[in-house]
Amino acid sequence: MAASRTGLVLAALGVLSVSVTSGSRAAAGAERGGEAEWAEPWDGAVFRPPSALGAVGVARGPGSPWSGREEAEDLPVLLWWSPGLFPHFPGDSELIECPRGACVASRDRRVWGDARTRALLFYGTDFRASEAPLPRLAHQSWALLHEESPLNNFLLSHDPGIRLFNLTSTFSRHSDYPLPLQWLPGVAYLRREAPALQERAEWRRRGYAPLLYLQSHCDVPADRDRYVLELMRYIPVDSYGRCLQNRELPATRLQDTTTATTEDPELLSFLSRYKFHLALENAICDDYMTEKLWRPMHLGAVPVYRGSPSVRDWMPNNHSIILIDDFESPQKLAEFIDFLDKNDEEYMKYLAYKQPGGITNQFLLDSLKHREWGVNDPLLPNYLNGFECFVCDHELARLDTEKAHAASPGDVPAPEPHIAQPSHMDCPVPTPGFGSVEEIPDNDSWKEMWLQDYWQNLDQAEALTTMIHNNETQQRKFWHYLHENFVRRNQNL
């Protein structure tokens, strides 16, 4: 019954259009790790968040072998349980071609119970334990796309939460479809020439601080404002945006800095005059690095960084950022910044990566060259379409193994379920930006908001895991009951 009902649903959707999403094999991708593949957009818009609803229909490269027009009803279905992220318009379902073959992507939840619906695709920010689709069907994979930090959903930072999923695409290099460099367009982006030191010296003579802070999201798990407030006791900091604000941006139209990602050319020119930028992520997770890190490097400023503990792995060389956690106190950090501010030769060592041969980190270069998606690159799929094809290929492979096992169970084992691991997020318990938890009053807003939220989400993750386990137990009992009745009825005939 379910299969026939879904057939009617897909038939009602009309002819499915074809979306080609295997851009990782595009011939033009050969240069994407080099310096010629990226040019600054006319409006400087590279640091708009990578659009999940970006271009669809990138020309299929020669690495995608599927060229037939099989009937849609013969293909596995990928159901976007987060329909707002469905990357195909205007319909609700679409045929997609991927390297291993074809699938049907849909956002129509009426196909959920169909045997051909092989995967549910979730966006982590939208995922709530109370809204999880239960019963969880045994033949379906759960796939998670969550490029954001746990600020958006701490449930996924707990082992029971992340293990709900079979496939993941997160900022972590350890996820199944990793997105650690989602804010870095390419090597050329880092090569942009820095303003002359004389220009910056003039800026300082006009009364501006050596250190910039631009942030309007003030209450975050990393508790960054608490650290910056303490640092301000020892060194001048010009703070724009809504957090700890002590100066105004030069034009009214630039003052809406809610996300602090606007790339207005006038704003970029203004920010580039600062020698140091405070770059503090909203949460501390391995490999979680955003425009707060890459934009200062693009502009030729030195990031004073707190965020990913593994950030050194991704830097262009071993002398390009200042890590806050390398200093025993904000006062010691202030003394070091003041030293660099007064010593041009030492300061310029932090910009050596902008010179020919200055990017020496082969891991970074290889990661940029071989990633299967692009940042504002019309020749490559965005990571949303890439993730969709990754799931499609996984389900096609799983189907092939299931069919081989059914044909020869003694020779071919049944496929083992792939389960996501805690390393696919790797975000520890939030800690204060400065001082210890014990020193912070219980009525502190950060303590009330983020520590409580962290542990409440653990309870929700564990509760959902229990419900799914109980649900699966009930399903097994039900099928056992049907089987026993079937055998008994046949014996009585």
Beta strands in 241-378 (DSSP E): 276-280, 302-306, 322-323
Give dist(CA 77, CA 105) in Å, integer.
6
The confidence score (pLDDT) of residue 484 equals: 55
Residue with tokens 């299969």: 3
pTM of the model: 0.82
E strands, 236-354, in order: 237-240, 276-280, 302-306, 322-323
SS3 state of residue 189: helix
C-alpha closest to that of 350 among 316, 308, 313: 316
| DSSP-based three-state secondary structure for 180 | coil
Q: What are phi and psi of 142, to 5 degrees?
A: -105, 125
* Secondary structure tally for the chain: helices H, strands E: 13, 12
Per-residue pLDDT of the chain (493 residues; tens, 9 = 90+): 434 333 332 333 333 333 444 433 333 344 444 554 444 443 444 444 443 323 333 223 334 443 334 456 789 999 999 988 899 988 899 999 999 999 999 999 999 999 999 999 999 999 988 889 998 999 999 999 999 998 888 899 889 999 999 999 999 999 999 999 999 999 999 999 999 999 999 999 999 999 999 998 998 999 999 999 999 999 999 999 899 999 999 887 777 655 445 678 889 999 999 999 999 999 999 999 999 999 999 999 999 999 999 999 999 999 999 999 999 999 999 999 999 999 999 999 999 999 999 999 999 999 999 998 998 888 888 999 999 999 999 999 999 999 999 999 999 999 999 999 999 998 998 999 999 999 998 888 888 888 788 888 888 888 888 888 777 665 555 445 444 554 454 454 4
Q: 187-367, which class in CATH?
A: alpha beta
HSE of 395, CA atoms in CB hemisphere, 13 A: 29
Domain boundaries, the chain: 77-181+383-492, 187-367
pLDDT for position 84: 86
Enumerate residues 6+ apart whose C-beta is below 8 A from 486.
none
Spell out the residues 6+ positions from residue 128 whose beta carbon is closer than 8 angstroms to its own. 155
Strands (E), 68-107: 77-80, 93-97, 102-106
**3-state DSSP assignment of residue 129:** helix
The 10 Å CB-count burial string (b at 16+, else e) for 140-167 is bbbbbbbbbbbbbbbbbbbebbbebbbb
**What does the alpha-carbon distance between residue 310 and residue 287 come to, in Å, rounded to a whole number?**
6
